């Protein structure tokens, strides 16, 4: 149990700046009082989540949503708040020029504009001390014959190579994939295999980012996790939950058993600790729920799944697997999954000097009432802000 507590103490979960802002679906964004108006206010909220949970010491930024004049000053502000700047997320999907794609666009001028933005993100990494550049492309086609599938892969590879070669020695590129949307006939990075192939071609500073909502229904995500871990190419997670497609719900909300199975693969590969190099991040859209409590709850859900994975009797599991005992092997997993780990996590938080109930602590803090009163005027941050 000491080893379990030690592993949970060093767990790190990065939160996304955009999740603290107004966000929604394609149909409606429901504004909430007190949401941030500036990148600094997003960071301040992220710092609250870290103080409540003790395991969320970094906040990912999204450019241009979090663009400022002085990124060094922004990084210093984050440090003063007790958090670091995490991954820098690029945005080459909201400009009208990207209607037919960004780095895979048939227009060389548009491709240059998109690649220059990615290079700008590396400059921001330099200024903030960020390790990770996270790339997601909406590029694809809607109709057969619209463009050459093969040529688009060549254009993608060319842009990725230019950006990869710009990375510093301690910087990485994380290539995210998505099955569909907004492109519906072909997506240029539609699956882990495409991302993996490009990352292998690029070199050791490129890794695959798995967004748990970016798969076809029924996809065995833990197999993908295990394969990429074996190949040394799992760079990051974007944790969320889904029922149908890219729902971006709170992680563990729809299928907590899937989250447990994923974390089992992580734990069994000894890849949970920060030095293993996997960035565990949230990427969620809080449309109807309060922002900060939803993010706190998501962090707690990951902690609970991780704790259960750490409680698996690995010796018994290995013995059952060697013996070909299907029922016993499954029972070992289910025993761990059905364990109530909440008392363990409450005790751990108390040992760390934290409130055992982060949600209740937030409600008592008065922070929500304060930001509602103070964040009046200006423009609330949200999609496109």
What is the structure's pLDDT at 168?
98
Fold of 2-374: TIM Barrel (3.20.20)
Return the biggest CA–CA distance within the chain.
Answer: 66
Residues 238, 119: Cα–Cα separation, whole Å: 22
| Residue-by-residue pLDDT tens, the chain, 385 positions | 779 999 999 999 999 999 999 988 878 889 999 999 999 999 999 999 999 999 999 999 999 999 999 999 999 999 999 999 999 999 999 999 999 999 999 999 999 999 999 999 999 999 999 999 999 999 999 999 999 999 999 999 999 999 999 999 999 999 999 999 999 999 999 999 999 999 999 999 999 999 999 999 999 999 999 999 999 999 999 999 999 999 999 999 999 999 999 999 999 999 999 999 999 999 999 999 999 999 999 999 999 999 999 999 999 999 999 999 999 999 999 999 999 999 999 999 999 999 999 999 999 999 999 999 999 988 888 876 5
Domain positions in the chain: 2-374
Q: Which of 369, 345, 379, 360 is nearest to 5 (CA)?
A: 345
What is the structure's pLDDT at 385?
55
Q: Which of 43, 37, 40 is nearest to 379 (CA)?
A: 37
> Any idea which residue has 């941050």 for tokens?
381
Residues 251, 79: Cα–Cα separation, whole Å: 27
Exposure on the CB side of residue 10, measured as CA atoms within 13 A: 14
> Does 64 sit behind a cis peptide bond, omega within 30 degrees of 0 on the bond before it?
yes
What is the structure's pLDDT at 384?
61
Please spell the DSSP secondary structure of 38-88, one letter per residue.
SHHHHHHHHHHHHHHHSS--EEEEETTTT--S-HHHHHHHHHHHT-EEEEE
């Amino acid at each position: 149990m000491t080893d379990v507590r030690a592993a949970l103490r060093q767990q790190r979960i990065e939160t996304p700046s955009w999740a603290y802002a107004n966000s929604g679906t394609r149909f409606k964004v429901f504004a909430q009082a007190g949401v941030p108006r500036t990148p600094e206010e997003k960071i301040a909220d992220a710092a609250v989540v870290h103080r409540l949970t003790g395991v969320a010491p970094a906040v990912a930024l999204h450019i241009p949503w979090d663009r400022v004049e002085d990124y060094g000053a922004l990084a210093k502000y984050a440090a003063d708040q007790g958090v670091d700047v995490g991954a820098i997320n690029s945005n080459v999907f909201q400009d009208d020029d990207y209607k037919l794609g960004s780095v895979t666009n048939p227009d060389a001028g548009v491709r240059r504009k998109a690649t220059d933005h990615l290079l700008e993100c590396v400059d921001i990494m330099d200024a903030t001390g960020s390790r990770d550049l996270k790339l997601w492309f909406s590029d694809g086609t809607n109709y057969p014959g619209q463009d050459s599938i093969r040529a688009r892969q060549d254009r993608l590879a060319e842009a990725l190579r230019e950006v990869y070669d710009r990375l510093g020695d301690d910087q990485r590129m994380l290539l995210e994939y998505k099955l569909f949307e907004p492109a519906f006939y072909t997506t240029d990075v539609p699956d882990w295999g495409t991302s993996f192939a490009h990352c292998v071609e690029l070199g050791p500073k490129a890794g695959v980012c798995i967004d748990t909502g970016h798969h076809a229904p029924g996809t065995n995500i833990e197999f993908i996790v295990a394969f990429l871990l074996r190949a040394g190419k799992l760079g990051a997670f974007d944790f969320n939950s889904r029922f149908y497609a890219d729902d971006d719900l709170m992680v563990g909300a729809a299928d907590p058993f899937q989250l447990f199975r994923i974390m089992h693969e992580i734990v069994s590969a000894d890849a949970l600790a920060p030095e293993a190099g996997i960035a565990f991040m949230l990427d969620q859209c809080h449309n109807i729920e309060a922002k900060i409590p939803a993010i706190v709850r998501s962090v707690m859900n990951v902690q609970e799944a991780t704790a259960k994975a750490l409680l698996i009797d690995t010796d018994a599991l290995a013995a059952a697997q060697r013996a070909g005992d299907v029922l016993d092997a499954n029972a070992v997993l289910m025993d761990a999954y059905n364990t109530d780990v909440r008392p363990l996590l409450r005790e751990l938080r108390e040992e760390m000097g934290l409130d055992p109930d982060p949600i209740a602590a937030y409600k008592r803090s008065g922070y929500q009432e304060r930001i509602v009163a103070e964040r009046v005027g200006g423009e609330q941050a949200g999609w496109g802000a």
